Structure 1
Amino acid sequence: MTLQFSLASAAPETAETPCVVVGVYENGLLTSAAARVDSAAGGAIKRQVESGDISGKAGSTTVLFAPEGMHAKRVLVVGLGSQKSFDAARFQKVCMEATRALTRLPIDSAVSFLADVEVPGRDSAWRLRTAALAADHAAYRYTATFKPREKSSQPELTSITFASDEQARTGLDQAIAIAEGVRFARELANLPPNICNPAYIADQAVQFAESNEKVSCTVLDHEEMDQLGFGSLLAVGRGSANHPKLIALEYIGGASDEKPYALVGKGITFDTGGISLKPGPGMEEMKFDMGGAAGVLGAFIAAVKMGLKINLVCVVPAVENMPDGNSYRPSDVLTSLSGITIEVLNTDAEGRLILCDALTYTAQTFQPKAMIDAATLTGACVIALGKHASGLMSKHDDLAAELLSAGETTLDRAWRLPLWDDYQTQLDSGFADIANIGGKNAGAITAGCFLSRFTEGQRWAHLDIAGTAWDEGRKGLATGRPVPLLAQWLIDRAG
């Protein structure tokens, strides 16, 4: 579901809308908007607080139907929790819960006053942007037609108006663009792998470029990559009937001679593990192994929609890893585009094998100011950080600090892991320059160390999003991360 957002100056007691949204803290403390509703409705909120029907617990929701004295047909009262401990993460949570409650009502629009709730250290533009992005995330529904959905006879939520000051307009404009990028990333990652294969991703990129005059797209097929020497990337795709694609989008938003920033995303459209076959249970989640590709494409779309005054490239190696008589094997030695030779110890450590050639290509072709890759790279990162933080690795402290700051701003957080040379010896090989795995210890870090061998001389950082790109379980959906983090990083670069 795509929500439409708008900004308006409105009073909660006079807003003509199917539903007004206000917040209440624990212990019955009302926000200013809730107090105005309570006054107009003859104490309706306070009575429910006193009776215990409105607890104020964070994320709880209560609907007041047709309260007297109000122009709105309903009032949705959202619990904010303790005011003393109210923070940015709590604000995001209550905005999501409010939207989930709205989607359960037979309404097509609402006016929300949550963006006026004070959040320590955050301005009105941040509050509005975060409220809108949280709402869009909560309202998302997988829209592919493979699972028919009966059309509801009731109205469905399609728009939210936020009551906030005009100074917050920038936040709303950014939210609309970032939300589009997040939705694109989620929809692409949620598609089944028989639809979303390398050619499909390439087609999506070409279509986007054709609809935006400042964007161009180059797609290399497997024959062109073979001529150029993409020996590592092509090995991973040898067992699949779906040939690999190397997709490069370029956006010129700055001066034509200005070096671009670069985003590179792992695009394994399905990962069986290859000859090192994965266990069957849970393998269906490996359609999400192109979450890095989806994320960088979403961030690219957000940057273009915001019209950022930067130059940006987005490179996606799109490959399917399948077992076949032609598949690459453990003990094969590959020659990468950089010339570095790689001993394959496990064909399920394939993401780094496509990324190393893509990183080399990006550095050689575009000479970027900075290069960020995003990849659902290691289960080890999920063990280390769980589902809450993406793993961040970089030898550049300033670049790492920029990305960590962007994550804190957007609540799409990352946590830095070491990339010390001490770990590099785990990748030693007796048969090639480097092995593609470093053993069971520090698996996320040695994967980052592997990629660092191909980014010498580059200002580069790696995001391992294996834990954050999708929600677990049979009904788990793609999250769209790290689109918000990367979009904020690009906003900061545009200055």
Structure 2
Amino acid sequence: MEFEISSDVPQQLDSECLVVAIGEGSLTAPARALDEASQGAISQVIEAGDIKGKKGQTMLLRGLPGVKARRVLLLGLGTDEQRNDSNFQKGIKAALTVLKSINCTEATFCLDDAAVNDRDCYWRTRQLVEQAVAELYRFEQMKSKPGDPLSLARVRINLDEADVETGEVAISEGAALANGVSTARDLGNLPANVCTPRYLADQARELAEQHPSLSCQVLEEDEMRKLGMGSLLSVTAGTEEPAQLIVLEYRGASEGDKPHVLVGKGITFDSGGISLKPGEAMDEMKYDMCGAASVLGTMTAVAEMGLPLNVVAVIAAAENLPSGHATKPGDIVTSMSGQTIEILNTDAEGRLVLCDALTYVARFNPASVVDVATLTGACILALGHKASGLLSNDDGLAGELLDAAAYTTDKAWRLPLWDDYQEQLDSNFADMQNIGGRPAGTITAACFLSRFTKEYRWAHLDIAGTAWQSGKQKGATGRCVPLLTQYLIDRTA
């Protein structure tokens, strides 16, 4: 997909389809310009009741007199109060649905300040790029006969002359972010017989080869054993596929600058181990590596943008399968931190790989650490599929992540991390147990992780409800790539 800026007046734009917005009872400036050029053609269809300008409404007009574009697509914005971030995104999706159906190869969007409240040219342009790529995304790598390629190959964005430079920056950064999201979606959608821990390691190595700012190191199980990662290795004991600890370093600032660290849970298939999951929808457990996928997607975006800071990504990749060698409920293992863990449920494995990875990252003397994981079904019960769960040992870091979530609409909601919950992890036989019972399951999972993050500012993102969709639209979403990338962009401001 190609994106470019145009600054011609709307009626003079030579385009296969011009997308302009109208509100309920009002025309935006681009729509007024086309209405005047066409001697009131747009006003006439509105007065006739063919379109009312309600949010998400669309109407395609052809051959408007005085307008150079072959088609004009009217896009409803609704009332002034309805012009928020979410409805702007829905409007872009509605427009792209029409553009795909008419098989045009190029389209031009003329969406001015009136299209969304309290957002500037940079935000509108970047969001348009991100939404266009997301809406046109298809995963057909595993099909013997992929569908016909989409005809829409070029999108132009019409801006005032004064906004052209800003628009070009927004396109560049939006495209990088969209590529990061697509990377995460591709990895998440691959089946577990393809996307194994070793496959994830190979993808990290390939990414490092593509960008001189990146370097990659992969620790094998022998090296993890020497480091004392008994918790991580307990998860992979039941499978023949070896675990991989992937370390991807991005150098965009001086060597002395502390890096921001991202840690991703990379369970490429989670059967639950001996604590076997029910068979229904178990195929979706290929998505249990979406934390790792979002971290790799974020590193893709960061490298393409060339952000002036240092970032380290650490991915704990493993399979969780049952066998005669698998870890059993009641087993006790020793983590890299030296703390012992009584494993009461082998299906609570994400925290077992993450705790050793979180101990490992202290060596980087990090400015901040954010781990991302499809960690608990309890998070879906608490927040549904709209917001990721956020827990942190640092109020400032939590606020920075929530700001990034609000800016990108990659929503997150903070849950408490009070000491009151820690007692649910008490064990009679070890320093702690790996589950805290049904009450507050998302919080006690984060309490477990917090015992390994006392040396630095840390936050945990539980994306169990946001990493993928089920049903007819089943597929990875690419969250939280926008949130994480924006958080890192904000650190460079």
Q: TM-score range by the shorter chain?
A: over 0.9
Work out whether residues 28 and 112 of structure 2, in 8 Å CA contact, stay in contact via their aligned partners in 1.
Answer: no
Residues 381-432 of structure 1, C-alpha deviations (whole Å, 9 max, x = no match): 0110111111000021000000000000010111000000000000000111
Per-residue deviation, 1:90:
1.5
Work out whether residues 77 and 115 of structure 2, in 8 Å CA contact, stay in contact via their aligned partners in 1.
Answer: no
CA distance in 2 between counterparts of 1:21 and 1:96 reads 12
Residues 271-327 of structure 1, C-alpha deviations (whole Å, 9 max, x = no match): 111111111111111111111111111111111111110000001011111111111
In structure 2, the residue corresponding to 1:455 is in which secondary structure?
Answer: coil
Per-residue deviation, 1:116:
4.5
Residues 114-134 of structure 1, C-alpha deviations (whole Å, 9 max, x = no match): 254353322111111112111
Alignment counterpart, residue 156 of structure 1, candidates 151, 154, 170? 151
1:490 equivalenced with 2:488 (yes/no): yes
Could you tell me which amino acid in structure 1 is paired with residue 175 of structure 2? I
Per-residue deviation, 1:264:
0.4
1:433 equivalenced with 2:405 (yes/no): no
Work out whether residues 265 and 292 of structure 2, in 8 Å CA contact, stay in contact via their aligned partners in 1.
Answer: yes
Matches within 5 A, 1:130-145: 130-145=127-142
Under a length normalisation based on structure 2, what TM-score does the superposition of the two structures give? 0.97
Alignment counterpart, residue 60 of structure 1, candidates 54, 57, 61? 57
Alignment counterpart, residue 104 of structure 1, candidates 101, 105, 108? 101
Work out whether residues 362 and 455 of structure 2, in 8 Å CA contact, stay in contact via their aligned partners in 1.
Answer: no
Per-residue deviation, 1:92:
1.8
Under a length normalisation based on structure 1, what TM-score does the superposition of the two structures give? 0.96
Per-residue deviation, 1:474:
4.9
CA distance in 2 between counterparts of 1:241 and 1:52 reads 65
Partner of 1:471: 469
CA distance in 2 between counterparts of 1:395 and 1:287 reads 30
Partner of 2:372: 374
Alignment counterpart, residue 51 of structure 1, candidates 43, 48, 72? 48
1:447 equivalenced with 2:445 (yes/no): yes
Residues 300-356 of structure 1, C-alpha deviations (whole Å, 9 max, x = no match): 111111111000000101111111111111101011111111100101100000000
Q: Could you tell which deviates more after superposition, 156-165 or 110-119?
A: 110-119
Partner of 1:383: 381
Matches within 5 A, 1:225-240: 225-240=224-239
Work out whether residues 88 and 115 of structure 2, in 8 Å CA contact, stay in contact via their aligned partners in 1.
Answer: no
Partner of 2:276: 277
CA distance in 2 between counterparts of 1:474 and 1:342 reads 40
Could you tell me which amino acid in structure 2 is paired with residue 76 of structure 1? L
In structure 2, the residue corresponding to 1:438 is in which secondary structure?
Answer: coil
* CA-based RMSD: 1.3
Partner of 1:299: 298
Could you tell me which amino acid in structure 1 is paired with residue 87 of structure 2? R
Alignment counterpart, residue 8 of structure 1, candidates 1, 6, 11? 6
CA distance in 2 between counterparts of 1:191 and 1:428 reads 38
CA distance in 1 between counterparts of 2:491 and 2:140 reads 33
CA distance in 1 between counterparts of 2:467 and 2:244 reads 22
Per-residue deviation, 1:100:
2.2
1:212 equivalenced with 2:211 (yes/no): yes
Alignment counterpart, residue 409 of structure 1, candidates 407, 410, 420? 407
The 1:355/1:112 distance shift into structure 2, 3 A limit, reads: same
Runs of 4+ aligned residues of structure 1 deviating over 3 Å after TM superposition are 115-118
Partner of 1:74: 71
Unpaired segments ≥5 residues, structure 1: none
Work out whether residues 112 and 162 of structure 1, in 8 Å CA contact, stay in contact via their aligned partners in 2.
Answer: yes
In structure 1, the residue corresponding to 2:324 is in which secondary structure?
Answer: coil
The 1:83/1:147 distance shift into structure 2, 3 A limit, reads: farther
CA distance in 1 between counterparts of 2:115 and 2:24 reads 15
CA distance in 1 between counterparts of 2:231 and 2:268 reads 17
Matches within 5 A, 1:214-363: 214-363=213-362
CA distance in 1 between counterparts of 2:78 and 2:241 reads 51
Per-residue deviation, 1:151:
2.8
Work out whether residues 264 and 371 of structure 2, in 8 Å CA contact, stay in contact via their aligned partners in 1.
Answer: yes
The 1:150/1:391 distance shift into structure 2, 3 A limit, reads: closer
Residues 210-258 of structure 1, C-alpha deviations (whole Å, 9 max, x = no match): 1111110000111221222111111101111211111000011000121
Unpaired segments ≥5 residues, structure 2: none
In structure 1, the residue corresponding to 2:267 is in which secondary structure?
Answer: strand
Work out whether residues 29 and 112 of structure 2, in 8 Å CA contact, stay in contact via their aligned partners in 1.
Answer: no
CA distance in 1 between counterparts of 2:94 and 2:144 reads 25
CA distance in 2 between counterparts of 1:217 and 1:110 reads 40
CA distance in 2 between counterparts of 1:247 and 1:296 reads 11
The 1:441/1:228 distance shift into structure 2, 3 A limit, reads: same
Partner of 1:20: 18
Per-residue deviation, 1:367:
1.5
Residues 435-470 of structure 1, C-alpha deviations (whole Å, 9 max, x = no match): 000000000000000000000121000000111111
Partner of 2:191: 192
Alignment counterpart, residue 123 of structure 1, candidates 120, 125, 128? 120
